[in-house]
Amino acid sequence: MNEKQQEIRKMQEMIEKWQKFLIISHRSVDGDAYGSSMALYFYLQSIGKTVEVVNELPITPFFHFLEIHNHITREIAGKKFDSIFVCDCGELRLTGEYPERYAEIFGNTPIINIDHHNRNSMFGVCNLVDTEASSTCELVYDLMENTPLSNSLLEGERAKKDNKSPLLLLGEGAGGWGGIISPQIATLLLFGIIRDTNCFKNSIHPHVFEVTSKLIALGAEYEKVIFHSYKSEKLNYLQLYGHVLENLISLKWGVIVGWILTQDIFNRYDIRENELGPQLINEILSSLEGTDFAFLVKETESGDRKLSFRARRDGIDVSRIAQYFWGGGHIQSAGAYTKASLDEILKVIEETDVKISL
Ligand SMILES: [Mn+2]
């Protein structure tokens, strides 16, 4: 049994033993964080557990098609949990203010850590961390697939459908406590994989396609995910893209490019800062010739700055730049919140590029 299988086994024992779970992911939630958290949420409910998902920021319209907004809470004061799942988070502090604000909960409750970031501080009592995985959703799938269905669920499914039901791809035959991957859960997991791989352009290995294939067999709504991710851009967003291309900041002869979006610009295009996802920076970076590193600075409504960094070439570790601003992320994709001035931000980006020897 390898290390990953051991952690999955440990996690299964914890899920079986405990009843009340809290699920949290990073503060600035992306598709993989929502996909993995909500898939776990519906899965744990299906096996009779009590579950809450918490996030301090309201869900943005981009995620509304997933129909998960009524299932996310912001308030956990005075509540008790047997265990906390932290999804898609390299460090506990990236979940936002909850660990500090509810120190009595976070300090006294065992944490289960599921993640694929390269800098994970292994803060859980159980750490399913695989830096080779495309996404946390892929790992959540691995957990579910390797958990046998309970006999009663298995029989119930057999009674409803014939033996060829795709549900029985999972956990066939072994008596246990596991639940079923419903089409809704499959859609959430597929969404996370598609978002984190930027539609199968990054972090690709054979297992990603195996998992994707099984999720589609289980009823994941592939077309719906693609439509909402890549085929439904609003005109004002495309006009903002036009502004961004016109006002590109080029450093080091175009090896580094970036954009600064102030509240004035968001107002001009009638877009709220938190509605603009990483799509913009990903798309431009992946199509520009000769550019290895892109950054985006967004001014938030409270006047802070939200930073996103993306690298395309091996050897550039943008998570180090994010860490300077107390953020985190992957080697090629990282972010941070900061009160630093624009001058300081640009200076750090320019200086860091020397250290990473562009
Ligand atoms: Mn992720």
Q: How far is the CA of 222 from the centre of ligand 1 (A)?
A: 19
Q: Could you tell me the CATH number of the domain that includes residue 144?
A: 3.90.1640.10
Q: Which domain holds residue 107?
A: 3-228
Q: How far is the CA of 348 from the centre of ligand 1 (A)?
A: 25
The two tokens of residue 182 are 């419903």
**Residues 108-161: tens digit of each pLDDT:** 999 999 999 988 999 999 999 999 999 999 999 999 988 877 767 777 776 666
The CA distance from 70 to 91, in Å, is 27
Q: How far is the CA of 86 from the centre of ligand 1 (A)?
A: 12
The verdict on 140 and 252 lying in the same domain is no
The verdict on 194 and 318 lying in the same domain is no
The CA distance from 261 to 112, in Å, is 37
Whole-prediction pTM value? 0.84
The CA distance from 119 to 68, in Å, is 29
Strands 256-261 and 249-251: antiparallel
Q: How far is the CA of 253 from the centre of ligand 1 (A)?
A: 31
- DSSP structure string for 164-210: T-GGGGSSTT--B-B----HHHHHHHHHHHHHHTTTTTSS--HHHHH
pLDDT averaged over 10-residue windows placed end to end, the chain, 358 residues: 91 95 93 97 95 92 92 94 97 94 96 94 97 97 86 70 54 61 95 94 92 93 96 92 93 89 97 83 84 92 93 81 90 91 92 53
The verdict on 275 and 211 lying in the same domain is no
The verdict on 243 and 321 lying in the same domain is yes
On the 0-12 / 13-18 / 19+ scale of CB atoms within 10 A, 93 is middle
Q: How far is the CA of 196 from the centre of ligand 1 (A)?
A: 6
197, 228, 259 - which closes a domain:
228
Instruction: Report the Cα–Cα distance between both ends of the chain, in Å, rounded.
Output: 41
> For the chain, how many structural domains are there in total?
2
The CA distance from 350 to 330, in Å, is 20
